[in-house]
C-alpha cells in the first residue's frame, strides 16, 4: 500500500470514529471493538487502527486500558473542573514557552523556507479551513501546520525541541476545546502562511505570537475559573 493510500484510510477512519463518539453513537464508558475486529470490519491493517486509537486517546476521546480494552472517555459536558491544578500549570507553562520560540520559528521559515515547503504550508492552512467548515476534526492538521513551519527553519535544533514537545501539545489540544478556538486558529494559520509566502518575517512573527498568546490567554482564563 502506498503512503497516500494509508493516509486516506487513516484519516477516513479517524473521522468516522470521532463522529461516532461526538454524536454519542458510542456512549461514554462504552467498550470499543478490539483492534483486530475493527481492522476486519473496515478491511484495513491493524497498524492503521492502532494509530487511529492512539490519536483518539491523545485527544481525550478514548481510554486504552491494558488487559481490559478501549473505552470511550469523551464527554461533551465535561468542564475543566475535573482537570488537576498541575495539568493547568503545565498548559500555561507550555503556552509561555511556545510564545518564546514559535514566533521566531515563523520568522525563520519566512526567510529560509523553500518554495515547496511554502506550498505545503498554504495547502495545510486551506485544508484546515475546509475541515473546520465541514465540522471535521482539525487536531492532526493543526499539529501538521506547526510542524511544517519548524521544518522550514532548516535548523536541526528547532526540530529537536519541537519534536520533544509533541506529547505536551497533544495534552493541550485534548483539554482546551473552547468554542470558537478552531475558527481563530484557522484565521491565524492563513495569516501566518501568507506572511511566510510573502517572505515577510515581521508579520510571520507577529501573527504567530498573537496566535500562541491567544491560546495562552485562554488557558489562564480557564485556570482562573477552576475551583481547586
For the segment 109-143, what is each residue's pLDDT rounded down to a tens digit? Answer: 999 999 999 999 999 999 999 988 887 778 889 88
Between 29 and 223, whose confidence is greater? Answer: 29
What is the band of 86 on the pLDDT scale with cuts at 50, 70, 90? Answer: low
What is the band of 93 on the pLDDT scale with cuts at 50, 70, 90? Answer: confident
The SS3 of residue 87 is helix
Between 64 and 222, whose confidence is greater? Answer: 64
Q: What is the pLDDT of residue 80?
A: 43
DSSP assignment of 91-156: HHHHHHHHHHHHHHHHHHHHHH--HHHHHHHHHHHHHHHHHHHTT---HHHHHHHHHHHHHTTT-H
Q: What is the pLDDT of residue 81?
A: 43
- Separation of alpha carbons 134 and 217, rounded Å: 27
* pLDDT over 60 at 177, yes or no: no
pLDDT tens figures, 11-23: 889 889 988 888 8
Whether pTM > 0.75 for this model: the answer is: no
Q: Which cell numbers in the block locate residue 45?
A: 491493517
Q: What is the pLDDT of residue 28?
A: 82
Average pLDDT rounded to a whole number, residues 53-74: 83
Q: What is the pLDDT of residue 165?
A: 85
- Least confident among 79-83, 146-150, 156-160: 79-83
| Domains of the chain, each with CATH number or no CATH | 3-72 (1.10.10.10), 80-225 (1.20.120.530)
Q: What is the pLDDT of residue 2?
A: 62
Between 226 and 130, whose confidence is greater? Answer: 130
* pLDDT over 70 at 220, yes or no: no
Q: What is the pLDDT of residue 226?
A: 47
On the CB side of 112, CA atoms within 13 Å amount to: 14
Q: For all residues of the chain together, what is the average pLDDT? A: 83
* pLDDT over 70 at 222, yes or no: no
CA 127 from centre of chain? 14
DSSP character at residue 32: P
Average pLDDT rounded to a whole number, residues 61-81: 73
Amino acid at each position: 500500500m502506498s503512503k497516500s493510500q494509508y493516509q486516506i484510510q487513516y484519516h477516513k477512519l479517524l473521522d468516522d470514529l470521532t463522529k461516532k463518539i461526538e454524536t454519542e453513537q458510542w456512549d461514554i464508558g462504552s467498550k470499543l471493538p478490539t483492534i483486530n475486529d475493527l481492522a476486519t470490519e473496515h478491511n484495513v491493517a491493524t497498524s492503521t487502527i492502532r494509530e487511529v486509537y492512539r490519536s483518539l486517546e491523545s485527544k481525550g476521546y478514548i481510554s486504552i486500558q491494558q488487559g481490559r480494552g478501549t473505552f470511550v472517555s469523551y464527554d461533551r459536558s465535561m468542564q475543566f473542573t475535573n482537570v488537576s491544578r498541575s495539568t493547568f500549570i503545565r498548559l500555561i507553562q507550555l503556552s509561555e514557552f511556545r510564545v518564546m520560540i514559535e514566533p521566531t520559528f515563523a520568522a525563520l521559515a519566512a526567510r529560509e523556507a523553500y518554495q515547496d515547503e511554502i506550498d505545503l504550508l498554504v495547502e495545510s492552512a486551506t485544508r484546515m479551513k475546509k475541515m473546520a467548515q465541514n465540522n471535521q476534526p482539525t487536531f492532526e492538521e493543526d499539529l501538521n501546520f506547526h510542524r511544517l513551519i519548524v521544518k522550514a527553519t532548516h535548523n536541526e535544533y528547532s526540530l529537536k525541541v519541537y519534536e520533544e514537545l509533541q506529547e505536551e501539545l497533544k495534552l493541550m489540544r485534548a483539554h482546551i476545546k473552547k468554542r470558537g478556538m478552531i475558527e481563530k486558529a484557522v484565521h491565524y494559520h492563513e495569516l501566518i502562511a501568507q506572511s511566510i509566502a510573502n517572505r515577510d518575517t515581521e508579520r510571520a512573527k507577529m501573527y504567530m505570537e498573537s496566535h500562541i498568546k491567544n491560546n495562552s490567554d485562554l488557558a489562564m482564563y480557564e485556570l482562573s475559573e477552576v475551583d481547586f
